[in-house]
A and B are shown apart, each in its own frame.
Chain A
Amino acid sequence: MFQILNEDGKIVNEDDMPDLSDEELKELMRRMVYTRILDQRSIALNRQGRLGFYAPTAGQEASQLGSQFALEQEDFILPGYRDVPQLIWQGLPLYQAFLFSKGHFHGNQYPENLHALSPQIIIGAQYVQAAGVALGIKKRGKKNVAITYTGDGGTSQGDFYEGINFAGAYKAPAIFVVQNNRFAISVPVEKQSNAKTLAQKSVAAGIEGIQVDGMDVLAVYAATKSARDRAVNGDGPTLIETLTYRFGPHTMSGDDPTRYRTEELDNEWAKKDPLVRFRKFLEDKKLWSEEDENKVIDEAKEDIKQAIKKAEEQPKQKVTDLISNMYEELPSNLQEQMEIYKEKESK
């Protein structure tokens, strides 16, 4: 397992230490704290009925944000349903992320500078699509990558394998991230495969594979950065397995992790918390203080308050909106239905 920072916040692998400025290191911490607060608030807002579908992210901050931090603005993200934080830090306004949760199409109308698809619900589909985006980037001669994410369970899908294999066959600039949080809803990773690592699945596609400490933001960043460098240099895709853990339930739609996870396991992984170790590392370097942290927390809470307000002020969807988003030119059946609903909506 590739690691740079251990659980005590000490550098254990100086050679691979990424070249990040003090400001960048602080920014990484700021984002992780902000995202942890976002997760806590999202769970609360979901419980109050002010948000809809929500897949908790606490525990996966290093894995999600360390990899996103290695991207350029023109890179293309194909997220899974748990990968909203990467979109937010790549430029998705928070209120739109909330609209996605609530089930409003405006949540998916991305700003021009955000090159991404909205979170993919069909596990594996983002992988085959990423191979296509990466091939398109290569054909256009752009120095960019397509990055996509799935979980440990997702590695059992056919599309997972087809995606990495296609990208390999075309030497396409793709980064495939597997966030192994050990559970696919209630099914432990041991029941997905007899393979000892998920990273070794890259061998089947003949591509690079690396297993990373997914609770170590520096290791995830370094692995993604190096995969990105190889990809833009024409050396093809990489599969990155991040060993991580979700502290919360699978989603807020009724999942209860106490049915399938032991307290011992939760406690063991709580010690690996990516925020704790990175905080220690930064504090040792005198780059982080309680004051810094509280400032981020306040800022996050205020942003979230404004964003949920803005999401709630969004005009309600009408059937005529949904019809107009179907095609460039409406076919006759929809033209007819458009008239019917226009009439209904005018009453």
Chain B
Amino acid sequence: MAQMTMIQAITDAMRTELKNDENVLVFGEDVGQNGGVFRATEGLQDEFGEDRVFDTPLAESGIGGLAIGLALQGYRPVPEIQFFGFVYEVMDSINGQMARLRYRSGGHHTAPITIRAPFGGGVHTPELHADSLEGLIAQQPGIKVVIPSTPYEAKGLLISAIRDNDPVVFLEHMKLYRSFRGEVPEEGYTVELGKADVKREGKDVTLVSYGAMVHASLKAAEELEKDGIDAEVIDLRTVSPIDYETIIKSVKKTNRVVVVQEAQRQAGVAANVVAEIQEQAILHLEAPVLRVTAPDTVYAFSDAEEVWLPNHRDIVEKVNTVINF
């Protein structure tokens, strides 16, 4: 076991898979000698060579096409999109192409591609760096969307993503990259995709969250405890497909739910969670399912992040509303 930050765990996962499978290729803008703009690929080119870890021209769509073409030659591409706000340049390659490759070829071709990209607010990035756009990809059949919240899970989920024979978008929250350390086993291990994790058990209310909002939910749960409210915190970990089984089990126990996301109210995946709960467990609800989200504006100018991003206080407030409904 080692103490690692999330970004170290991510590097470690790529190192593990580069060693484990000679078909794994890591590429993107500045991921080679530079080791990535966040040092996520630090040392990988030196260790595995330029044939395995390499820079690309500055063109996200080209990177997406490159990944698809390499997959068609039996490789297991792990491309990076420098910031997920730049996904619009490569939407066709992701949603229009790789997500559909298996289906459109009747299973003849596959796209074992893992796209890594940082996103997320709270670190005062310039425009279109922090936007939460997971909802866009979550709407596309044929692709999985994974968002880890701890170093341990980042490594295990990334290894699972790389080994998955269908495309995965792996979103890394920038605020979580170096904000804390956690125990990470040195060997390769996997955390199953499509499975949520109960981060805190509770009996009064269920908080469903992902990404940085998991930590906000845990902080809110601590405050709520002081008022005698016992919150259960679920970390989705995979936002497409969503593990509804874990959610519904929790709802049947607590009978109250708040869904928490950093994305705007009209974006993200919270509305999907609410819809599924009302379809599957409406008779178990003591109150409506409420959402904590950002407002429906364009992502905040960096100096306004603090007032704009949802935080633990917003969660406490919503929980009190569902408790007192």
* Residues of B near any A CB (own CB < 8 A): 51, 56-57, 59, 61-62, 64-75, 92-93, 96-97, 102-110, 141-142, 144, 164-166, 194, 241, 243-245
Verify B106–A125 contact, CB threshold 8 A: no
Verify A158–B166 contact, CB threshold 8 A: no
How many residues on A have C-beta within 8 angstroms of the other chain's C-beta atoms?
A: 41
Inside 8 A of A109's CB, which chain B residues have their CB?
Answer: 105-108
Q: A108-B104, A166-B65, A333-B241 in contact; A328/B51 too (CB < 8 A)?
A: no
Since A122-B97, A326-B142 are in contact, a sample of 16 more A-B pairs with Cβ atoms closer than 8 Å, ordered by chain A residue number, is: A108-B104, A128-B65, A128-B66, A129-B97, A131-B66, A132-B65, A139-B73, A146-B69, A165-B59, A166-B59, A169-B57, A327-B142, A328-B166, A331-B241, A332-B194, A332-B241
- Shortest distance between the CB of A91 and any CB in chain B (Å): 13
Verify A162–B62 contact, CB threshold 8 A: yes
- Shortest distance between the CB of B164 and any CB in chain A (Å): 8
- Shortest distance between the CB of B108 and any CB in chain A (Å): 5
Inside 8 A of B194's CB, which chain A residues have their CB?
Answer: 331-332
Inside 8 A of B142's CB, which chain A residues have their CB?
Answer: 326-327
- With A and B bound together, what is the CA distance between A130 and B68 in angstroms? 9
Inside 8 A of A162's CB, which chain B residues have their CB?
Answer: 57, 59, 61-62, 65
Q: A159-B61, A162-B61, A166-B56 in contact; A325/B102 too (CB < 8 A)?
A: yes
Question: Smallest CB-CB separation from A134: which chain B residue?
Answer: B69
Verify B107–A325 contact, CB threshold 8 A: yes
Question: Smallest CB-CB separation from B109: which chain A residue?
Answer: A117
Inside 8 A of B244's CB, which chain A residues have their CB?
Answer: 332
- With A and B bound together, what is the CA distance between A327 and B61 in angstroms? 23
- With A and B bound together, what is the CA distance between A66 and B97 in angstroms? 29
Verify B57–A165 contact, CB threshold 8 A: yes
Q: What are 18 A-B contacts defined by CB distance under 8 Å?
A: A105-B104, A108-B104, A108-B108, A109-B107, A110-B108, A125-B65, A125-B97, A128-B62, A128-B68, A131-B66, A136-B74, A166-B62, A326-B141, A327-B102, A328-B164, A328-B165, A331-B194, A332-B244
Q: A132-B65, A132-B69, A159-B61 in contact; A108/B245 too (CB < 8 A)?
A: no
Question: Smallest CB-CB separation from A78: which chain B residue?
Answer: B69
- With A and B bound together, what is the CA distance between A159 and B92 in angstroms? 10
Inside 8 A of B109's CB, which chain A residues have their CB?
Answer: 117
* Residues of A near any B CB (own CB < 8 A): 76, 105-106, 108-110, 117-118, 122, 125, 127-137, 139-140, 146, 158-159, 162-163, 165-166, 169, 322, 324-328, 331-334
- With A and B bound together, what is the CA distance between A121 and B166 in angstroms? 22
List the 9 shortest-distance A-B pairs measured between CB atoms, nearest first.
A132-B69, A128-B65, A136-B73, A331-B241, A162-B62, A109-B106, A133-B69, A132-B66, A105-B106
Question: Smallest CB-CB separation from A76: which chain B residue?
Answer: B72
- With A and B bound together, what is the CA distance between A336 and B64 in angstroms? 31
